A and B are shown apart, each in its own frame.
Chain A
Amino acid sequence: MIQDLLHSSPGLSNFVIFFLLATVFLFVILGFVTYAILAERKVLGFMQGRYGPNQVGGRWGLLQTVADVLKLLLKEDLIPKAADRPLFILAPVVAFAPAFMVVAAIPFTDRLQFADIGVGLLYYIAVSGMTTVGILVGAWASNNKYSLLGGMRAAAQMISYEIPLVMSVLGIALLAGSINLNEIVEAQEKGWFILWQPIAFIVFFIAAVAELNRVPFDLAEAENELVAGFHTEYSGFRWAMFMLAEYVYMFAMCALITVLFLGGWLPLPFLGFIPGAVWFALKFSLVVFILIWFRATFPRIRADQLMEFAWKVLLPVALANIFLTALLKEFLNIF
């Protein structure tokens, strides 16, 4: 049915159908965010020998995040006098919209996906870069010293780590001969790219954690020096939009890592009878779990180490990996 729809000429009716489907998908993502936050708190709790949320919604605290969201909806909405009002209101929207846009390009199974864009990978990287603008606008508009420091740090960090992120994926583009995400997954029939591209995987994973502003790279919102970083002045649901953007990015980035390195919906050998969607969900959950595990394990790294690590270690390694891959491909003819 979707195939017929895709082949029909685009018009208003197509727009409406896509809009309804995307709305359903938006609620799926919101559900993921709700339970990702709960899972994060639970896992962190168990790793630190605590229980985590266990009051609201039964023994597992299943309604804790729902209650939190409702509470945030009822919070008072403060805009400081000194703030730049229009930009202050605009910033959460600018930060959130690209976070949701990037999810459009990700294939979940061979049939379940929204936009099959020829330059899917490039689209993801280009659109995700726009969030930096939202963060910087929010930091600037707050007219708060902590915010501005946090925003500048966030921008410097995100643009620095974007370089190794894009460079490491080039090895995959070389092997797959395409930057369409579907074709990249299909190219992994001969073995997942985590096996063929271990260096790229490590560089990409580190850069991805830094792009997500998560521990150990959460300098933009280092609580003990910057209060809350770029969203110090944000309260209520405006603040929630920034948090939402962060977790939707986590969803998108974990899905992208699954697609690029872990073979997307492809099954392990001899286990092909399990449907692709289950495989995707399993790999995806594993990546999310590793991100949460990172948060419980690593201390925050220092600002100077952070920047030097991106330019002096990750970038040369990623560049070397590109040419190593090209040479291997030329002489071994694996792909």
Chain B
Amino acid sequence: MELLNVYQNNYLIVFVFLCLGILLPVVALFAARLLRPPYKPIESKYTTYESGIEPFHDSRVQFNVRYYVFALMFVIFDVETVFLYPWAVAYEKLGIFALVEMLIFVVMLLIGLIYAWKKKVLKWI
């Protein structure tokens, strides 16, 4: 029960930090609204900045597929770390057998990395 309380209190603190992290921008922006002098900028100030020329067409264009491939690689290796963390923490109890197993697991992912490397996915143009 004691431990559960400590556990819950620690996450309550995290929640408090989340609340404060949201509150600070809200309060600061509200204070800024109260403090600044009332002023209405001219219409052309509301245009999007484009080095002084009239902005043309929407800027949300199709993007290079490269970004997507990097995101995929990120997911693969981030999931790998999720498996590596528990192994690293429990390594003392697991010993050499788990090390070999983990080596096999990582080598398989490394083959993927080398494959991507050879396919020139990692090359940023």
A interface residues, Cβ below 8 angstroms from B: 5-10, 14-15, 18-19, 22-23, 26, 72-83, 92-93, 96-101, 103-105, 114-118, 122-123, 140, 142-148, 152, 155-156, 159-160, 162-163, 166-167, 170, 173-174, 177-179, 227, 232-233, 236-238, 240-241, 303-304, 306-308, 311-312, 315-316, 319, 322-323, 326-327, 329-330
- Chain A residues lying within 8 Å of B50, measured Cβ to Cβ, are 144-146
Inter-chain contacts of A232 with B (CB < 8 A): 49
Main secondary structure of the interface of A (DSSP, over half): helix
CA–CA, A311 and B115, complex, Å: 13
Q: Are B37 and A74 in contact (CB under 8 A)?
A: yes
Given A104-B14, A174-B88, A311-B113, 11 extra CB contacts under 8 A: A6-B10, A10-B12, A15-B16, A18-B9, A74-B37, A146-B49, A146-B50, A166-B81, A174-B91, A177-B92, A329-B91
| Closest B residue by C-beta to A74 | B36
Q: Closest A-chain residue to B15, C-beta based?
A: A15
Which chain A positions have C-beta within 8 A of B124? 303-304, 306-308
With both chains docked as a complex, state the minimum distance between the C-beta of B89 and any C-beta of chain A, in angstroms.
6
Q: How far is the CB of B113 from chain A (nearest CB, A)?
A: 7
Tell me, in angstroms, the Cα distance from A32 to B35 when the chains sit together: 24
Closest chain-A Cβ to B57's Cβ sits at a distance in Å of 10
Taking CB atoms, residues of chain B closer than 8 Å to A115 are 10-11, 13-14, 17
Out of B12, B41, B47, name the residue touching A14 (CB < 8 Å): B12
Is the CB–CB distance between B117 and A312 below 8 Å? yes
Q: Is the CB of A6 within 8 A of B22?
A: no
Which of B18, B74, B81, B95 meets A160, CB within 8 Å? B74
Give every chain B residue within 8 A of A22 (Cβ-Cβ).
Answer: 13, 16-17, 20
Q: Is B106's CB under 8 angstroms from A159's CB?
A: no
Q: Please encode chain B, from 1 to 38, with 1 for each CB lying within 8 Å of some chain A CB and 0 for all others.
A: 01001111111111011111110111011011101110
Those of B35-89 within 8 Å (CB) of chain A = 35-37, 39, 41, 45-51, 55, 58-60, 63, 67, 70-71, 73-74, 77-78, 81, 84-85, 88-89
**Chain B interface size, under 10 / 10 to 19 / 20 to 34 / 35 or more:** 35 or more
User: How many angstroms between the C-alpha atoms of A308 and B110 in the bound complex?
Assistant: 16
Complex Cα–Cα for A288 and B29 (A): 28
12 contacts between A and B (CB under 8 A): A22-B13, A22-B17, A80-B49, A104-B13, A115-B11, A116-B10, A159-B70, A163-B77, A241-B29, A308-B124, A312-B117, A330-B95
Chain B interface residues (CB < 8 Å from chain A): 2, 5-14, 16-22, 24-26, 28-29, 31-33, 35-37, 39, 41, 45-51, 55, 58-60, 63, 67, 70-71, 73-74, 77-78, 81, 84-85, 88-89, 91-92, 95-96, 99, 102-103, 106, 110, 113, 117, 122-125
Q: Is the CB of A233 within 8 A of B95?
A: no
Cβ-defined contact, A93 with B88, below 8 A: no
Which one of A101, A114, A326 lies within 8 Å of B99 (CB-CB)? Answer: A326
Q: Which residues of B contact A303 (CB under 8 A)?
A: 124
Q: In the complex, which residues of chain B have a beta carbon less than 8 angstroms from the beta carbon of A8?
A: 5, 9
* Contact among A9, A93, A166, A326 with B26 in the assembled complex (CB-CB below 8 Å): A93
A83 contacts across to B, CB distance below 8 A: 48
Nearest opposing residue in chain A for B22, CB measure: A97
- The CA of A233 and the CA of B123, in the complex, are separated in Å by 31
With both beta carbons as reference points, the residue of chain A lying nearest to B125 in the complex is identified as A304
Residue among A96, A97, A144, A322 with the highest chain B CB neighbour number at 10 A = A97
